[in-house]
Chains A and B, each alone.
Chain A
Amino acid sequence: MDSTGPMGQVLSSRVAPLLENFLQGSVLDTSKDVLIHRLRGLCDNAENQPEIFHDHEIVFIMQGNPNQQPMYFHVRHSLIHPESWHVRYLGVAEVGDKNKLTLIRHCVDAGASSNVVDFLNEMGFKIDYEFIAKGYFFHKGRMKVTVSKLYKILQPGSTDQVEPLSQSHLVELSVVAPRVQEQIGEDMKNFAEQLKPLVLLEKIDHKRLQQSLESR
């Protein structure tokens, strides 16, 4: 993990470092309902309607030493429950070798109050980008599944004027745990198998994506 990063010291000293195991995939909008149906059957609380969310995510960036990776904070603001704000730090995801069944990254989650944006601004963070995520949330034991549609914000500051990004919903399967446990990877792999061939949940190589972005 990024033990040399700006979060490294914090993680190793005071805050208990949590690890997020995750897999990512997507489903075309036309097949989304089939997936929701299947997830309802596979996950807990099958008898209830799936939980929905409608969030505004703002990503803040702080570039410390230019030689280091910049630090990102993801602030999520629920548009359904406007009083709830959430800050999340995410480390760089490790692809690892083939034995690792999932991607693994450091994460720190914290609830926040509505002035978190001002606070981060005061700290010297800058807004890097923002988007709207709207979708469904499921859980099965400690596994969490989100199916979300991403929207581009057309007018900065206005969360009503949005435009969908791509014809697909993003699907993420994740488990947050205090340390690396192989059983988690096994469980997630098995779960992902059950969603095939509807959705292919896999380890997406983030470094490669970033490189392809930068090369353009």
Chain B
Amino acid sequence: MQKEEKQLEQSLEGLIQRVQELKNAIQMFLFKLEHEYETLNWPSVLDNFALLSGQLNSLGRLLKNDKVPALRNHVFLPLVLSPDRDAELEKLTERRVMMFNHAVVPDYLRTKPEPEVDEKISQLTSKAGTVVQETAQKQFNNLNKITSNLLDIINSAKEEWESESNQKSSQPVTFSSTDTNNLVSTILFGKSIKVARKPDSSNTQPQGMPNPQQQQKVQSATVSKAPSAIKTQIKAASSSHPYQRP
């Protein structure tokens, strides 16, 4: 028994906290609407709605939680009604309810719908009673048919939409960095189009002999007259003769 009471207390605390949060969010939203309506834009209004709906959801989840005892099994019973001002109550309700008297209790502790609604419901119930069984069955079937059709349409639209948005999120590849590098190497250095000329004279020349004779030789291509000391290199240069096409 004690355990149950403890559980009830805990869940009530949680409920109060959630409701408080919800109340704060609504207050902030109202404040914004009243004071910043000139600068407020639609996305931020939507954000506020999203916040409220999230809080309502979490409140609902809390109520459905297994640990929360079924609140409908608990009776709320007003013990004392008084026409005097109640300072404590005033503070608790932020000056919304001044006193706990006969005028407010029926409104705040109401468990039945309002009298007009009640009346309307009873009217409808009596009207439903007069419908012939067969007609009712027919109407049922029709309604079911329509609803299932609608559901089908909505589901297929949803599937279509989802697959579309999936396609959009997975952007197709339109370029390749490797290709960029290869193409740039091609136009700048002749990558993969330069005929494999091993004696690519300029690069294979021994770096340690920058004598003027050698330079002249490469430029004027009078290779055959070079001294024998650099014979090996002459051969290399002669095979890539400037007048030759690759």
Contacts and interface: CB of A to CB of B under 8 A. Distances in A.
Interface of A: 24-28, 30-31, 34-35, 57, 59, 61-67, 70, 121, 124-131, 133, 150, 152-153, 156-157, 165-168, 170, 197-200, 204, 206, 209-210, 213-214
B177 A200 contact: yes
B62 interface: no
B207 A206 contact: no
Contacts of B243: 121
A125 B202 contact: no
B181 A199 contact: no
A26 B176 contact: yes
13 contacts: A24-B184, A30-B174, A59-B190, A124-B219, A124-B220, A129-B246, A165-B192, A170-B187, A199-B174, A206-B188, A209-B188, A209-B189, A210-B188
Given A67-B207, A125-B242, A213 B191 contact: yes
Given A64-B215, A67-B210, A126-B240, A204 B184 contact: yes
Contacts of A204: 180-181, 184
B218 interface: yes
B175 A150 contact: no
Interface in B187-245: 187-195, 201-203, 205, 207, 210, 214-215, 218-221, 240-245
A65 B192 CA distance: 26
Interface of B: 171-177, 179-195, 201-203, 205, 207, 210, 214-215, 218-221, 240-246
A152 B191 CA distance: 10
6 closest Cβ pairs, A-B complex: A129-B190, A63-B202, A168-B179, A31-B174, A26-B180, A170-B183
B180 A65 contact: no
A168 B194 CA distance: 19
B242 A126 contact: yes
Nearest to B191: A213
Nearest to A200: B175
A66 B202 contact: yes
A170 B173 CA distance: 16
Contacts of A24: 180, 184
A34 B174 contact: yes
Contacts of B241: 126
Contacts of B218: 63-64, 124
Name the residue among B171, B186, B193 with the largest chain A CB count within 10 angstroms.
B193
A167 B243 CA distance: 33
A33 to B, nearest CB: 11
Contacts of A200: 175, 177, 180
A27 B172 CA distance: 12
Contacts of B245: 127, 156-157
A26 B242 contact: no
Given A124-B220, A131-B187, A200-B180, 15 more contacts: A26-B183, A57-B187, A63-B205, A66-B214, A124-B242, A156-B246, A168-B176, A197-B174, A200-B177, A204-B184, A206-B188, A209-B188, A209-B189, A213-B185, A213-B191
Contacts of B179: 26, 28, 166-168
Contact of A209 (B172, B185, B205): B185
B216 to A, nearest CB: 10
Given A62-B219, A170-B183, A131 B189 contact: no
Given A131-B186, A150-B183, A170-B183, A197 B193 contact: no
Contact of A165 (B175, B183, B189, B201): B183
A76 to B, nearest CB: 11
